[in-house]
């Protein structure tokens, strides 16, 4: 059976962390295996090339991983951001208006959440380059033209939202955006909450990162952000080589991010000009464009003077110098405050940080897919296709698909077809042959096995084994499609579609679809 080239689809529907499922762009797709001592060999980056064996196994104080004087760092960061924030022409980047009305700030929050989602889904696991930015901007502008306000979005159907979202993937994010808009309209007078904790607790799909980003950008609240880019940036800045998903590591990184948006210690005028939303956006921008996964541009980094990973990499050819850098951060009085999170590191370079996530091998599953087509008779131009709506939770939630039996083990393709027909078609389906006298009853005219299609999701490698099953006849005088089982309010919706004959002449064919929602009312496709 032929097998088609597979596509990689990193659909986070297997991760139910809302909008804040960790951005995998901070980590390698295929990390190297570590030994039993958990020492990981790393390739050398241009920003640091020496292999200083065990240089960072020297005990060090946990104070190494604290930003205790953020003001000069933030000033340098914002000065850099002021010169680059308009370079990529992102329409959602707007200056903070401290005198904006509540409605204006609520609209800004809506624009911010849309920008976060579209940007996240497009740059997951890839570096944000100009071509990707252009695509995201096109989606953003198209969305804002269709749904200019949160209230306009709340009135939309999930079908309208998915149709506009088509091409970005991660459809669950679009559905959660719709659910969040509907809740905001119903319970918060059409405005997203202006408090990050309240937003995180009450708006579907909003986690700590998104709530912090939205409330700092739109409302000026001093709350931090920590996405994949900022995680990578701060891990290097603090020389934090620890298990990235552990609570201890996350607490350290969130504390560092919070320090960066802390109110400045100097005069009130400075406090008014250093808005937390600008700082958070600057950190994200710096992580995505300068402190990249591979080949970081350390020479262009505005805060490299304070970056510990950069300092170690520069001193890497002198192991004792590196050890002294570590020991200088730790006095005798600090021994009881020694860092217990960092692990031994070899192959010192900036890109050694953060410690890479060890990905679990994707489990493999085989799904049998039947494209069920019905015609009144074999030569009819009128055609109907059965679509089934997936459950509202889990992989590809709420989307339509051809009838499918998931995770097949021992069943044959023929037995799967029988099971699918029995599940969805109310009328008996016969197997007939020419001259049997049963050609007018509902029967299987032909089964054409099309081959395999492989999709690799984040945690699963699915092989879809596809067959085209042609059903003909009904036995009814009106030649209507066979009724669907289980009493669901299935309905048919016809769509005109053009197909070319072999001679190239265009003819109109009525290609329609019967749509069945599991456990819900019928849905028009």
Closest CA to 10 of 464, 463, 462, 456: 456
Closest CA to 363 of 465, 456, 464, 459: 459
Q: Considering Cα of 108, then 110, then 113, then 117, what sign does the dihedral take?
A: negative
**Encoded tokens for 446:** 């032909």
**Encoded tokens for 324:** 């002294």
Report d(CA 7, CA 23) in Å as an integer: 20
Measure Cα distances from 478 to 208, 322, 474 in Å: 57, 85, 9
Cis (ω within 30 of 0) for the bond into 354?
yes
Report d(CA 66, CA 64) in Å as an integer: 6
DSSP state of 274: S
Q: Which residues are catalytic?
A: 125
Collect all residues with Cβ–Cβ distance below 8 Å to 147 and sequence separation of at least 6: 153, 156, 164
**Encoded tokens for 117:** 């989602």
Contact, 329 vs 63, CB < 8 A? yes
Contact, 16 vs 326, CB < 8 A? no
Q: Considering Cα of 365, then 454, then 116, then 354, what sign does the dihedral take?
A: positive
Q: How far apart are the first and last CA of the chain?
A: 31
Collect all residues with Cβ–Cβ distance below 8 Å to 120 and sequence separation of at least 6: 19, 23, 170, 173, 227
Task: Give the count of alpha carbons within 13 A of 183, CB side only.
Answer: 16
Report d(CA 88, CA 134) in Å as an integer: 8
* 452 sits in which H/E element: strand 443-456
Closest CA to 343 of 130, 74, 37: 37
Closest CA to 405 of 439, 457, 436, 365: 365
């Amino acid at each position: 059976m032929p097998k088609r080239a597979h596509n990689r689809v990193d659909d986070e529907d297997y991760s139910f962390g809302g909008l804040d499922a960790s951005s995998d762009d901070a980590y390698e797709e295929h990390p190297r295996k570590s030994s039993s001592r958990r020492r990981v060999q790393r390739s050398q980056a241009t920003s640091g090339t020496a292999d200083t064996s065990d240089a960072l196994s020297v005990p060090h104080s946990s104070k190494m991983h604290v930003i205790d004087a953020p003001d000069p760092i933030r000033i340098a960061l914002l000065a850099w951001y002021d010169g680059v924030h308009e370079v990529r022409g992102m329409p959602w980047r707007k200056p903070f208006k401290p005198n904006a009305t509540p409605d204006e700030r609520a609209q800004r929050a809506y624009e911010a959440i849309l920008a976060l989602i579209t940007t996240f889904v497009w740059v997951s696991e890839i570096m944000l380059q100009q071509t990707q930015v252009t695509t995201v901007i096109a989606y953003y502008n198209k969305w804002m033209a269709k749904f200019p306000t949160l209230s306009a979005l709340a009135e939309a159907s999930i079908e309208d939202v998915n149709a506009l979202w088509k091409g970005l993937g991660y459809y669950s994010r679009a559905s959660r955006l719709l659910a969040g808009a509907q809740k905001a309209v119903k319970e918060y007078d059409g405005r997203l909450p202006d408090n990050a904790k309240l937003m995180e607790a009450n708006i579907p799909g909003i986690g700590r990162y998104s709530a912090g980003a939205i409330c700092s950008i739109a409302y000026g609240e001093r709350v931090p952000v920590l996405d994949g880019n900022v995680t990578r940036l701060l891990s290097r800045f603090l020389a934090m080589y620890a298990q990235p998903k552990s609570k201890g590591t996350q607490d350290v990184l969130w504390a560092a991010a919070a320090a960066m948006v802390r109110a400045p210690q100097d005069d009130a005028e400075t406090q008014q000009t250093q808005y937390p939303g600008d700082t958070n956006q600057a950190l994200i921008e710096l992580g995505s464009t300068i402190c990249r996964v591979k080949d970081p541009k350390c020479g262009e980094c505005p805060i490299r003077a304070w970056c510990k990973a950069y300092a170690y990499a520069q001193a890497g050819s002198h192991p004792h110098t590196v050890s002294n850098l570590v020991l200088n951060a730790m006095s005798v009085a600090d021994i009881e405050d020694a860092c217990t999170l960092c692990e031994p590191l070899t192959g010192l370079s900036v890109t050694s940080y953060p410690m890479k996530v060890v990905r679990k091998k994707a489990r493999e599953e085989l799904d049998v897919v039947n494209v069920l087509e019905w015609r009144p008779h074999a030569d009819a131009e009128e055609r109907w296709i059965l679509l089934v709506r997936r459950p509202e939770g889990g992989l590809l939630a709420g989307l339509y698909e051809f009838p499918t039996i998931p995770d097949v083990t021992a069943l044959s393709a023929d037995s799967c077809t029988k099971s699918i027909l029995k599940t969805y078609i109310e009328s008996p389906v016969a197997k007939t042959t020419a001259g049997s006298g049963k050609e007018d009853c509902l029967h299987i005219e032909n089964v054409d096995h099309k081959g395999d299609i492989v999709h690799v999701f984040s945690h699963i490698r699915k092989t879809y084994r596809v067959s085209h099953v042609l059903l003909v006849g009904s036995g009814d005088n009106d030649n209507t499609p066979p009724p669907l089982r289980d009493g669901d309010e299935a309905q048919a919706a016809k769509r005109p579609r053009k197909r070319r004959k072999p001679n190239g002449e265009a003819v109109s064919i009525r290609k329609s679809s019967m749509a069945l929602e599991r456990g819900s009312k019928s849905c028009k496709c």
